[in-house]
Amino acid sequence: MSEARILIVDDDVALLEALPDAIALRMNGVAIDTCETAPAALVRIQETDYDVIVSDIKLPGMDGLELLNEIKLLRPGTPTVLITGHGERDLAVQALRGGAYDFVQKPIDRDYFVASLDRAIQVRGLDRHVAQQRVELERHARVLQHVDRGVFLIDDEGVIRYWNPAARSITGLEADDLVGRRADEALPGWDAIGPEVPVASVPGPGSTEAKTLPLDIEGRELWISISGVQFEDGIVYAFRNLTAERALDELKGEFVATVSHELRTPLAAIYGAAQTLRRADVQLGDENRERLLEVIATESERLSRIAGEILLASNLDSGRFSVERQQLDVEELVSEVVDEMRTLFASRHDIVIDLVANGVLSPVAGDGDKLRQVLINLLDNAIKYSPDGGRIEVRVEPHGNCVRFAIADEGLGIPHGEQQRIFGKFYRLDPRLSRGVGGTGLGLYICRELVRRMEGRLSVTSTEGRGSTFVVDLPAAVHEPSRDAPVSETAGRS
Ligand code: ADP
């Protein structure tokens, strides 16, 4: 401990000289200052935080009692011992009432005086210690207010005693609704997951592995990684939100399932066809041989398309990707795409693809190959997700400073709540293929990214069971019309 500082105020110069020596003889580690008047003492008290102040009760000018009042204002925590003359009991009592720590009577009993100073210094030391601890506690509390982990304390009675702001923002549950209540009543699902949480007896890295557990908050499943540390009279828990990582893990799992399914189907077909072709004991006619070769060709193409989609999505993610900006003749491009798809799906007699071009169309600024890829993908989906057939309309028209491409089908449609999610990577509405249509769930993600890179926008409107309309808006390259006449073509296929 650092040395205690004592201030003695007395106009009795002889005493001022004698007292410090007497104290120094009996006490270790004290530094003593002296003053002859109250005003001089106040200046010192302002400068120095003394451990104890000793003052004569009678001083010229400002007396000891007034000085005591001033000390109480300036340094409320500093104990003050007053020296009273013989027979000044009343004054002494007044001093104690005024907040003096103790009084000593003249002639001073040095042992008593030193004992009193000693006690005062100890009390002051304890006060300081408590104040310091309070500051530290407040600092800790402030730290807990600002950590990015959810932190909460449950006492031995199972009552929540603390709930930090991160815990609130992760769970959405307010401290006011939780603190003071039993955790198993106030925290949804705590009775089930509480016993599962690993609790260490001492804090420190590696003492326990956090566990990933679900909290069910108003129907929303929140995955948290949580561990606890035993505390004197409770357990402090810390947790972080794992919901996004968990969702990603699930997505990856689904992706692996989807992709392996998507790869296995064409591979099985190719393998089967190749095995049949190799059999010496089976006489294959030209027509059958041709059909099997056709299977191998189409299915290989499907495989390479899947590999291409995965690679493209990964390139889009990593930024290793650029789009060109050319002036594109919209009508020509769209009508080529429509013709191509009609040929490709010639066997789907239940599907009709109509091309409608409205108004005067400007060329758009974009990348021809990428735009073609987007439109093919959207049309492919429109056909794929129209298992009962129907009319598919491909419409091109001016829309503000853009050219709008709309692909409308009469197929399965998309439930309202899923209409944004389908643009997510690997997201499929029907991953279990109850309607038997395969895909990687990457198509719309790729389309949206490509359109975005051409500074356009891809959106959808849909009614479940009635069909969907996917809309691509691309900025026009120039605002004056590039063609003289609007064209409208409607063609069904046989
Ligand atoms: P994929 O078709 O390979 O599954 P996409 O990213 O192209 O992947 O589409 C994601 C999901 O959106 C599809 O699985 C399907 O459920 C839904 N979807 C896309 N286009 C349509 C559409 N025209 N009609 C109904 N659902 C669609």
Read off the pLDDT of each residue in 317-329 and give the average, rounded to a whole number: 84
Task: Look at ligand 1, atom 7, and give the residue with the nearest C-alpha.
Answer: 443
For residues 384 and 437, give the distance between their C-alpha atoms in angstroms, rounded to a whole number.
7
Read off the pLDDT of each residue in 332-352 and give the average, rounded to a whole number: 93
pLDDT digit string, tens, across residues 387-415: 999 999 999 999 999 999 999 999 999 99
User: Helix/strand/coil (H, E, C) string of the chain?
Assistant: CCCEEEEEECCCHHHHHHHHHHHHHHCCCEEEEEECCHHHHHHHHHHCCCCEEEEECCCCCCCHHHHHHHHHHHCCCCCEEEEECCCCHHHHHHHHHCCCCEEEECCCCHHHHHHHHHHHHHHHHHHHHHHHHHHHHHHHHHHHHHCCCEEEEEECCCEEEEECHHHHHHHCCCHHHHCCCEHHHHCCCHHHHHHHCCEECCCCCCCCCCEEEEEEECCEEEEEEEEEEEECCEEEEEEEECHHHHHHHHHHHHHHHHHHHHHHHHHHHHHHHHHHHHCCCCCCCHHHHHHHHHHHHHHHHHHHHHHHHHHHHHHHHHCCCCCCCEEECHHHHHHHHHHHHHHHCCCCCCEEEEEEECCCCCCEEECHHHHHHHHHHHHHHHHHCCCCCEEEEEEEEEECCEEEEEEECCCCCCCHHHCCHHHCCCCCCCCCCCCCCCCCCCHHHHHHHHHHHCCCEEEEEEECCCEEEEEEEEEECCCCCCCCCCCCCCCCCC
- Judged against a pLDDT cut of 60, whether residue 49 lies above it is answered with yes
Task: Look at ligand 1, atom 2, and give the residue with the nearest C-alpha.
Answer: 439
For ligand 1, the distance from its centroid to the CA atom of residue 448, given in whole angstroms, is: 13
Q: Residue 377 CA: which ligand 1 atom is closest?
A: 7
- Cβ atoms of 202 and 229 within 8 Å: the answer is yes
pLDDT at 205: 62
Q: Residue 382 CA: which ligand 1 atom is closest?
A: 23
Ligand 1 neighbour 382 (Cβ under 6 A): yes
For ligand 1, the distance from its centroid to the CA atom of residue 442, given in whole angstroms, is: 9
For residues 394 and 353, give the distance between their C-alpha atoms in angstroms, rounded to a whole number.
7
- Judged against a pLDDT cut of 90, whether residue 155 lies above it is answered with yes
For residues 483 and 364, give the distance between their C-alpha atoms in angstroms, rounded to a whole number.
13
pLDDT at 459: 95
What is the residue-averaged pLDDT of the chain? 87
pLDDT at 341: 94
Q: Residue 467 CA: which ligand 1 atom is closest?
A: 24
- Judged against a pLDDT cut of 90, whether residue 319 lies above it is answered with no
pLDDT at 209: 79
For ligand 1, the distance from its centroid to the CA atom of residue 422, given in whole angstroms, is: 7
For ligand 1, the distance from its centroid to the CA atom of residue 439, given in whole angstroms, is: 8
Query: How much is the pTM?
Result: 0.53
Categorize the per-residue pLDDT at 22 as very low, low, confident or very high, splitting at 50, 70 and 90.
confident
- Give the residue, 356 or 325, on which the prediction is more confident: 356
Task: Look at ligand 1, atom 16, and give the residue with the nearest C-alpha.
Answer: 429
Single out the residue of 59, 11, 12, 51 nearest to residue 32, CA to CA: 51
Lowest model confidence (mean pLDDT) among 21-25, 338-342, 347-351: 21-25
Read off the pLDDT of each residue in 62-66 and give the average, rounded to a whole number: 87
Among 353, 444, 446, 460, which residue has the most ligand 1 atoms within 8 Å of its CB, making it the best to mutate?
444
Read off the pLDDT of each residue in 125-135 and give the average, rounded to a whole number: 90
Categorize the per-residue pLDDT at 176 as very low, low, confident or very high, splitting at 50, 70 and 90.
very high
Ramachandran angles phi, psi of 140, nearest 5°? -60, -45
Task: Look at ligand 1, atom 14, and give the residue with the nearest C-alpha.
Answer: 428
Task: Look at ligand 1, atom 12, and give the residue with the nearest C-alpha.
Answer: 422
Lowest model confidence (mean pLDDT) among 133-142, 315-324, 420-429, 477-486: 477-486
For ligand 1, the distance from its centroid to the CA atom of residue 416, given in whole angstroms, is: 14
Looking at the chain, the whole-number percentage of residues with pLDDT higher than 90 is 52
- Judged against a pLDDT cut of 90, whether residue 375 lies above it is answered with yes
pLDDT at 494: 34
Ligand 1 neighbour 379 (Cβ under 6 A): no
Ligand 1 neighbour 385 (Cβ under 6 A): yes
- Judged against a pLDDT cut of 50, whether residue 165 lies above it is answered with yes
**Terminal-to-terminal C-alpha distance of the chain:** 100
- Judged against a pLDDT cut of 60, whether residue 489 lies above it is answered with no
For ligand 1, the distance from its centroid to the CA atom of residue 441, given in whole angstroms, is: 7
pLDDT digit string, tens, across residues 458-487: 999 999 999 999 999 999 986 444 444 444
Ligand 1 neighbour 441 (Cβ under 6 A): yes
pLDDT digit string, tens, across residues 207-217: 567 888 888 88
